Amino acid sequence: MYYQGDIAEIIVYNNALSETDGFAVDCYLSKKYGIAVSHPCD
């Protein structure tokens, strides 16, 4: 099976993200694409 859909954006980092950094990425994508996240974004 292959993915058959659209990929809106790819974000690449040169190291593992901390939980806080991961939440920041979630918030960025949430605001940009109108996606709901399970934690508060400032």
Question: Cα-atom radius of gyration of the chain, to the nearest Å?
Answer: 12
More confident residue, 35 or 42: 35
Straight-line distance from the first to the last Cα atom of the chain, in angstroms, rounded to the nearest whole number = 38
Question: pTM here?
Answer: 0.72
Is a pLDDT exceeding 90 seen at residue 4? yes
Q: What is the DSSP letter of 16?
A: P
d(CA 33, CA 16): 23
Q: What's the confidence (pLDDT) of residue 8? A: 86
User: Over the stretch 16-37, which tens digit does the pLDDT of each residue have?
Assistant: 999 999 999 999 999 999 989 9
CA 21 to chain CA centroid, nearest Å: 10
